[in-house]
Structure 1
């Protein structure tokens, strides 16, 4: 190790050594020429003494410089041998020259950036694994219910049309739950490749809202929920991703409104801006969200008190909606009155769609 570091040290200074030797040689040559021109002015011993002295000081300088930097070389080789360790570069701290200090600083910055990226990747993996486990758990419930309903149908042989209708509705509701779970799983997987699965165009929000309402009309009728669309707006967005976002809003509205016995409303309020943007507010008359939980509703896997009470929340719906809105350049906000209503507002900023990027979002508290 010592010989190798010394060899590297001398090789890195080879050009300097050659230049120093050329200067000594040139100086000796000048002294010899002066001796020939003026005999007796410069003795041969003086020339020899000068040459030895110059080489001595060159050797002394190289030895001192090597001793000064030997610790740096040792740490460098140790770091190379421990290159599989994440913190290997942190042991290089015996820097001497400004160049070495700059290299060490660069390694520290690169190591910090690498650890940050690794931390983000691990966090994403943890979220993904947690969501998969939670998704599997939630899918077990509708599958079990469908199985029980099928067994009941085989055993009882539903005697009336009303019983058959109720059985069919129950089966359909459970299959809808499974379809929504599968859709959420699919969109979660697509979110990592968001830019690839993106088609931005001028979109009629009122038509988008109407399609989402039609997809949920059976559940709305069953739970006495009456949707209403007020206004019209055209905005730049991705129709498929915004449909997914609105599906999360309506699913939450139904989920947390159906426990109320009286008739309820879901209102889509649309507003068009003169500069090309717009705003969509989806408000329900459900059980609302507690004020202290509002700051956390966009955090992943946060279900809140309502989610724990109903047992149907995955804590991912509003998180994914927030992520999609951020990446589309839209802003998403929420307001709620506990026990009365909840309103989710998407603001479509003009030209905001061109600011595609990853932003921190949060999760579904509902």
Structure 2
């Protein structure tokens, strides 16, 4: 860093150094002219000219050294502030101003920093209000949606002796109600993702039981669309059960969404198998329409619906984005492979030793 500060210092004063050298050269040139003019009188000795040059260079070097030692702390602080990734506290780092110009620049930086924090505070307060309103709205909407779902279930129970079209109507109402519930849940989790650390509980979890419960929740849709789910393997992993249920819901609902329009029967396989020494792999394999190769790299981007989403018209572009965020924050690795027209496989890797045990100890 000292070399960098020296280079910056010399570049900043290059013009002054060149001016001083020019003045010294001009002075020497004038002395030599005078020496030639009065050479017979020997008024100016050559040693005097050399002494003048050495003395001038000495004072120039002395001034540069003194000025460098005076300015070095300021340059170091500037370089540290530039290298830091977080620029919020740059004004607090740069405190070694020497000249009045530097003090004015530091004061301007402090004023800009203060104004930036004020604007950031206003934005955060607006965002908190928006999130609070969204959460409140979701909670209020879940009650009427639950009532509609209960009414549709009751209508289905009472429709055994009613015409087929009425039964289909009741089933459609229930399906649409489930879609609304799923959308509300996604909005709720989307609002919670920013406060992830406050809603986290890592514990040893039966992964196969979580998968089985999620499959049972989607059983009716699987039957309706001729999708035959199957669960293979057992494992206990360290994760947050609630967030993991959200992840599994996204995978299975996507598998149903992009498989239901294919003719004939389709399979949905959830396989749990060991990975390495202490790891576990969960794979979710469907026989849906698959993901086009040109969309694979972007499926985790927020609001990206892709070719399939535009075709079905049911995609929000937030499900896989939130899934990726949740898996990353839980320390699970997420991967995907797909072939258009044949199906998609998502894989979640769990590691027994690592971030999960640390988090579990801190939270207990």
TM range (shorter): 0.5 to 0.7
Matched, 1:199 2:194: no
Matched, 1:291 2:293: yes
**Residue 205 and residue 259 in structure 1: after superposition, are their counterparts in 2 closer, same or farther (change >3 A)?**
same
CA distance in 1: counterparts of 2:268 and 2:298, whole angstroms: 23
CA distance in 2: counterparts of 1:342 and 1:215, whole angstroms: 21
**Residue 292 and residue 232 in structure 1: after superposition, are their counterparts in 2 closer, same or farther (change >3 A)?**
same
SS for the counterpart of 2:278 is coil
State the aligned residue count: 246
Partner of 2:240: 238
Contact kept? 1:329, 1:356, Cα under 8 Å = no
SS for the counterpart of 1:193 is helix
TM-score by length of 2: 0.58
SS for the counterpart of 1:339 is coil
Contact kept? 1:267, 1:284, Cα under 8 Å = yes
SS for the counterpart of 1:195 is helix
SS for the counterpart of 1:189 is helix
Deviation (angstroms), 1:354: 3.7
Q: 2:268 aligns with which of 266, 269, 292?
A: 266
Matched, 1:223 2:225: yes
CA distance in 2: counterparts of 1:356 and 1:98, whole angstroms: 50
CA distance in 2: counterparts of 1:351 and 1:302, whole angstroms: 34
**Residue 197 and residue 161 in structure 1: after superposition, are their counterparts in 2 closer, same or farther (change >3 A)?**
same
**Residue 98 and residue 180 in structure 1: after superposition, are their counterparts in 2 closer, same or farther (change >3 A)?**
same
Q: Deviations over 1:185-244 (max 9, x none)?
A: 111121121111111111111111100000000000000001111111111001110000
**Residue 161 and residue 279 in structure 1: after superposition, are their counterparts in 2 closer, same or farther (change >3 A)?**
same
CA distance in 1: counterparts of 2:354 and 2:107, whole angstroms: 37
Partner of 1:251: 253
CA distance in 1: counterparts of 2:232 and 2:177, whole angstroms: 31
CA distance in 2: counterparts of 1:282 and 1:98, whole angstroms: 66
CA distance in 2: counterparts of 1:352 and 1:294, whole angstroms: 29
Q: 1:318 aligns with which of 317, 320, 323?
A: 320
Q: Deviations over 1:303-337 (max 9, x none)?
A: 00110111110000000001100110111111110
Matched, 1:279 2:274: no
Deviation (angstroms), 1:351: 3.1
TM-score by length of 1: 0.57
Partner of 1:349: 351
Partner of 2:65: none
Contact kept? 2:305, 2:315, Cα under 8 Å = yes
Contact kept? 1:328, 1:352, Cα under 8 Å = no
Q: Deviations over 1:77-136 (max 9, x none)?
A: xxxxxxxxx9xx8xx9xx6449958x949958x959x68x959x78x96xx89xx7xx99
Contact kept? 1:158, 1:164, Cα under 8 Å = no
Contact kept? 2:202, 2:356, Cα under 8 Å = no
Q: Deviations over 1:158-199 (max 9, x none)?
A: 983433321221111011001101111111121121111111
Matched ranges for 1:128-139 at <5 A:
none
Partner of 1:185: 187
**Residue 350 and residue 100 in structure 1: after superposition, are their counterparts in 2 closer, same or farther (change >3 A)?**
farther
Contact kept? 1:275, 1:350, Cα under 8 Å = no
Gaps of 5+ in 2: 1-87, 360-364
Partner of 2:332: 330
Contact kept? 1:203, 1:235, Cα under 8 Å = yes
